[in-house]
Structure 1
Amino acid sequence: MSDVASGGAVRPKTAGGGSGFKNFLRATEIDTRMLGMVGALLVIWVGFHILSGGTFLTPRNLWNLSVQTASVGVMATGMVLVIVTRNIDLSVGSVLGVTGMIMAIAQTTWFTPMFGFDNPMVWIATIGLGLLSGLAIGGLQGFVIAYMGVPSFIVTLGGLLVWRGAAWWVASGRTIPITDDTFKILGGGSDGSIGATWSWVIAIVAIAFLALAAVNARRQRKRFHFPVKPMWAEYLTFALSAGAVVVATLIVNAYLLPGPLAARYAQANGIAVPEGGLAISFGYAVPVLLFIGVGIVMTFVARRTRFGRYVFAIGGNPEAAELAGINTKRVTMMVFALMGMLAAIAAAISTARLTSATNAQGTLDELYTIAAAVIGGTSLAGGAGTIAGAMLGALVMQSLQSGMVLLGMDTPLQNIVVGAVLVVAVWLDTVYRKRAA
């Protein structure tokens, strides 16, 4: 049974039938799996904060945590589509390593001598070459999977070895430094953040975007006579989203440049330093903004484009999708090509943050990327997954790693914990699907 809302829209009943909490979730349309992840993240944060003696939930650590999440988070958005199509990509860490090495060598050997130091064309050409390299590698693997019929597990397992070896081969085992200062901005740091003022500008724009999106979604539901949320639920979900943006902005602005960096900034910009010193906020880091931007674009691709609908159709039932006229082979190849480009973006972030390309770059990132997608609700059975969930899953994985580092845990023990979390996440997904069936 349902009630007719204003404007002819249909609104589900919330009175009676089910507990008050279930009615609340139904009215607000909050994803219970997403709510569970947020709860788990809060437990992890509070637990590590207590165990670390109050150093985890500080502006400095949370700012660094957001920057460290960016590269894996970018790849996790692509891994969602890969897993949704009932495939897997074990090579993303190695693709990150080889594309990062290609960009570093090209910038040092070709582009900087060609255009000159800090010429804008240096970083543009570097990123362009990296994206093309990632696209080519992903497209090649996708071609072998889709058109030659080799299982994705085997192809990308081979790719894990091939591209890791290629990264070592092209640099002869050397570490290649980055020469362009503009390119280094992609890695964050004092020069790779936007400051307090622009952070608030972006926060205001984000809140306005959330408001417009909520109004437009309600208008579209009424137009097509779909169920709409009660107004109190609309206001509540918007307030929670806007509050999260404000809190995040307050945190990144609370992280101040250390004294020597603040003095150098003041000298470079002709600012007089008062006796008490300068209080200059880092604000949002550029890689974090890039991560969020990629997430928004990937969400649009997954939910609002024909390509995204084809991806989920293939994951739901490949045979039915092919009978419906979907070119499943081409879509599969495109998914892996897109995954390669996202790995190249992650490589640019990682290389810029390290200010060099190393042979160990991206090692085990495939584990963190797959774990982020699965923890975020992407089903290994295919056909289900969300970009926002993968982004939150990446934050959960990086929070675990960052917390273990603060506690001084050895790397082998960290790997044990991450592996155990991945197994538990898959088990929970299996239980969830059985209950939903």
Structure 2
Amino acid sequence: MSLGKAFKHLGIDLRLAGMIGALFLIWLLFDLFTGGRFLTPRNLFNLSVQTASVAVMATGMVFVIVTRHIDLSVGSLLGFLGMIMGTLQLHYLPGIFGHGTAAVWIVAVLAGILCGVLLGGFQGWIIGYLNVPAFIVTLGGLLVWRGAAWWVTSGQTVAPLDQTFKRLGGGTGGSLGATWSWIIGIAAVAAAVAMIFNARKRRARHGFPVKPFPAELALAGIVSAGILGFVALMNAYKVPETAARRILEARGEPVPEGPIDMAQGIAIPVVILLVVAVVMTVIARRTRFGRYVFATGGNPDAAELSGINTRLLTVKIFALMGALTAIAAVIASARLGSVGNDLGTLDELRVIAAAVIGGTALSGGIGTIHGAVIGALIMQSLQSGMAMVGVDAPLQSIVVGVVLVIAVLVDILYRRRFGL
């Protein structure tokens, strides 16, 4: 039996296995070329934080591309929304709620998400109801929102941001610590195992073929080992001594005289990404809206004839994309601790590349949330690894561009080979 047939018999997605294999190969090569500096808890912690904002937007880009649209404005919109949230928490909200109060950053985040929904929905309305191609509308948005971000503060950088808000970017105090990381890791294992076997029960109940039970056990074991291994790796990265003392002082806890052993744990941006990925997966697989998205992408004319309001659906998809862009803006600006005019520059290309590398077909109808997240991780791994090796920035762009083209070519050949 060939490897492809064996994977099919076990119900394993060959393309997903290939992406994970490519990711591990990239990690091993960079670890070799950097003398063991790439696969360290510190670097992988930073890699997970750097991936989060692009991965959050990539989950929304899946829906956009699945319905045969494109959104070139997300990078500029991220910068504009980040500027709005930064300006609110620096110049306006402290005068209303008081400096240092939780309401400042909470209201700023909610305002940013609301603006993202409205601006994204407005672009979707132009595309869906005025029939202007998404490429043109979002290309215009790329220019408009970048200019609007400059206009908000006349080109000035907004800093410093609220201290609690900055924790959402994974900086000092922006992680869960060892205990909560293990709690969330164990809960994630329980949820993943339950989902695997509940899916098996549903398929058997409806008469669909199921994987051999040993294969299900093996899959559950691999997933569980991956989750717990990730938690252990994040807990192996220790908080620097100075930062640990500041954290204890901020909590009002006693600061010991000797060394402080404090684990970073899972970064808050990664938690946000996981929540977004789970919610988007549920939307894609378990809701009417998700079914409409994939039905429209598969055959827009048939979807419209079957009663789906494809115009309103387009508005909803771009509004969702706007909300996710706002969440990504929170992560990106909080990580930097400031909002500059270059925030989000070229992120639109990274997001599209992540979705496409993750298996989202530009022809529409096919795409997965987990694939987009892995695609974003592959993109960030390439960039981070090349920076550590010392590859010049122009050559980094060349490599990423070549990888994107090769990924699309492999996807085309894969779908042609298996008739997808």
TM-score (normalizing by structure 1) = 0.93
Match of 1:105 among 79, 87, 91: 87
Shift of the alpha carbon at 1:270?
3.2
Does the aligned pair in 1 maintain the 2:79–2:341 contact within 8 Å? yes
Q: Using the alignment, how far apart are the partners of 2:86 and 2:183 within structure 1?
A: 33
CA distance in 1, matches of 2:257, 2:228: 29
Q: Within 5 Å, which residues of 2 pair with 1:99-248?
A: 99-248=81-230
- Shifted more, 189-198 versus 222-231: the winner is 222-231
In the aligned structure 1, how far is the partner of 2:338 from the partner of 2:118? Answer: 23
Aligned partners of 1:134 and 1:240: how far apart in 2? 37
| Helix, strand or coil at the partner of 2:168 | helix
Q: CA deviation at 1:190?
A: 2.5
Calculate percent identity across the aligned residue pairs.
56
Residue 68 of structure 2 aligns to a residue whose secondary structure is coil
The aligned residue for residue 430 of structure 1 is 412
After TM superposition, the structure 1 stretch with the greater mean CA deviation from structure 2, 385-394 or 261-270, is: 261-270
Q: Which moved more, 1:305-314 or 1:207-216?
A: 207-216
8 Å contact from structure 1 (residues 178, 184) kept in 2: no
Other-structure match for 2:301: 319
Structure 1 runs of 4+ with >6 Å offset: none
| Aligned-residue offset at 1:45 | 0.5
AA partner of residue 128 (structure 1)? L
Distance 1:387 1:332 in 2: 18
- Asked whether 1:383 is paired with 2:365, we answer yes
Task: Compute the TM-score of the two structures, normalised by the length of structure 2.
Answer: 0.97
Secondary structure at the aligned position of 1:174 is classed as coil
Distance 1:311 1:112 in 2: 41
1:436 deviates by 2.9
Is the alpha carbon distance of 1:272 and 1:96 closer, same or farther for their aligned partners in structure 2, counting shifts above 3 Å? closer
Distance 1:28 1:112, change over 3 A: farther
The 2-side partners of 1:144 and 1:187 are apart by: 33
Aligned-pair CA distance for 1:274: 5.6
Compute the displacement of 1:267 (Å).
4.4
Per the TM alignment, residue 263 of structure 1 is displaced from its structure 2 partner at its CA by 3.0
Displacement of 1:272: 4.9
User: For the aligned residues, what is the CA RMSD?
Assistant: 1.3
* Structure 2 letter corresponding to 1:430: I
Kept after mapping to 2: 8 A contact 1:27/1:233: no
Q: CA deviation at 1:214?
A: 2.0
Q: 1:218 Cα deviation (Å)? A: 1.9
Distance in 2 (alpha carbons) for counterparts of 1:105 and 1:240: 45
Query: What's the CA shift for 1:28?
Result: 2.9
The Cα offsets for residues 69-99 of structure 1, whole Å up to 9 and x where unpaired, read as: 0000000000000000001111110010000
Pick from 321, 332, 339: which aligns with 2:314?
A: 332
| Residue 254 of structure 2, aligned match among 244, 260, 271 | 271
Matches of 2:160 and 2:320, distance apart in 1: 25
**Which amino acid in the other structure matches residue 367 of structure 2?**
G
Offset, 1:225: 1.7
Distance 1:317 1:336 in 2: 19
Distance 1:355 1:272 in 2: 26
Contact 1:28 1:237 in 2 (8 A): no
Kept in 1, the 8 Å contact 2:185–2:231? The answer is yes
Partner of 1:13: none
Match for residue 417 of structure 1 among 389, 394, 399: 399
Secondary structure of the structure 1 residue equivalent to 2:99? coil
- Asked whether the equivalents of residues 266 and 273 of structure 1 are also in contact (C-alpha less than 8 Å), the reply is no
Maintained 8 Å contact 1:84/1:312:
yes
User: Does residue 1:95 correspond to 2:77, yes or no?
Assistant: yes
Which consecutive unaligned segments of at least 5 residues does structure 1 have?
1-17
- Contact 1:73–1:369 at 8 Å: present in 2 too? yes
Cα distance in structure 2, aligned partners of 1:301 and 1:265: 37
DSSP-derived class of the 1:176 partner: coil
Provide closer, same or farther for how the CA distance between residues 272 and 142 of structure 1 changes in structure 2, counting only shifts above 3 A.
Answer: closer
CA shift in 2, pair 1:200/1:332, >3 Å: same
Rounded Cα–Cα distance in structure 1 between residues aligned with 2:46 and 2:353: 21
Match of 1:365 among 343, 347, 359: 347
Q: Bigger CA drift: 265-274 or 328-337?
A: 265-274
For these two proteins, the number of residue pairs brought into alignment is 418
Alignment of 1:40 onto 2:15: no
Aligned to 1:74: 56
2:337 match: 355
1:295 to 277, 280, 288: 277
Question: Structure 1 residue 266: deviation in Å?
Answer: 4.1
Is the contact made by 2:155 and 2:341 (CA closer than 8 Å) also made in structure 1? Answer: yes
Mark the structure with the bigger radius of gyration.
Answer: 1
In structure 2, the residue matched to 1:344 is 326
Counterpart of 2:289?
307
C-alpha separation in 2, matches of 1:428 and 1:23: 18
**In structure 2, how many angstroms separate the alpha carbons of the residues matched to 1:412 and 1:73?**
23
Conserved in 2, the CA contact under 8 Å of 1:102 and 1:130? yes
Structure 1 Cα separation of the partners of residues 79 and 245 of structure 2: 36
8 A contact 2:161–2:334 mirrored in 1: no
